Amino acid sequence: MAKLVVILVIIIGLWYWWTYQRRLPNNKRRPFLWKSAFWLVLGTAVYLVLSGRMHWLGAVIAAIIPVAKALFIWGSRALPLLRMAGRFKSTPSQFRTQSLLVTINFANGQISGEILTGDFAGKQLSELSSDELQALMEQLKNTDRESYILLQAYLLRSGSSNYQSSDSYQPNNYTELSGNEAYEVLGLPTTASKDEVIKAHKRLMQRLHPDRGGSDYLAAKINAAKDKLIK
């Protein structure tokens, strides 16, 4: 009698399950079938363990397999999103002259500068006082015109100076970029493809174009870097 009741309950349950899943729309039916399969496998494994027909490790394995599959499916769907997010990462751009090395992270707006030659060699621009910065500007203005313009760009972008320069940068007037320097300006590895160079150039110009409060010098450097790598 007990077995008959169990069989009747199983039949009713299967009928209810069948009619329920038939009413589901196609986009919800498949996830429901996966969940049903998971609970069926888990329930069967638990029954076998309780009846002594399976070791408890078997039930654990049976439960892990559907979960692992679900995680794999989720990971496959999330991978394109992670790749897309990776494209928005911004490697800092480096602008190097004879006397200065300025690094700009356009993602967070941080800027830093290192002095390479002269009385302040080895120091960061942020370490200098206003008087020392003024002295450095006067020195570079007479001895290293390109570094002088880069220093102005640093001061303007860092917000530490209201000075507006009338000097414009023309690539042909200064030292030509090397291949490695061009990659540094665009914030790219030396293995970057032509398509990556074009995308990096476009992204940087959108953030740094003079019409958007950027610097003529830095914008020209970015253009020169693209021209160097794409001929």
Query: Higher-confidence residue: 172 or 39?
Result: 39
How many residues does the structure list for the chain?
A: 231
Task: Let me know whether 136 and 225 are in one domain.
Answer: yes
Query: Higher-confidence residue: 165 or 189?
Result: 189
pLDDT > 50? residue 84? no
pLDDT > 90? residue 83? no
Task: Let me know whether 214 and 119 are in one domain.
Answer: yes
- Contact, 229 vs 183, CB < 8 A? yes
Chain segment 94-107, per-residue pLDDT in tens: 999 999 999 988 77
pLDDT at 19: 79
Domain range for 39: 2-87
| ∠ Cα 69 10 53 (to 5°) | 60
* pTM for the structure as a whole: 0.58
- Give the domain-ending residue among 87, 116, 138: 87
Residue with tokens 């090395």: 101
Task: Let me know whether 163 and 114 are in one domain.
Answer: yes
pLDDT at 207: 79
Task: Let me know whether 38 and 119 are in one domain.
Answer: no
Task: Let me know whether 44 and 106 are in one domain.
Answer: no
H-helix or E-strand spanning residue 110: strand 110-115
DSSP H helical ranges for the chain:
2-23, 26-50, 56-87, 130-143, 145-158, 179-186, 194-208, 216-229
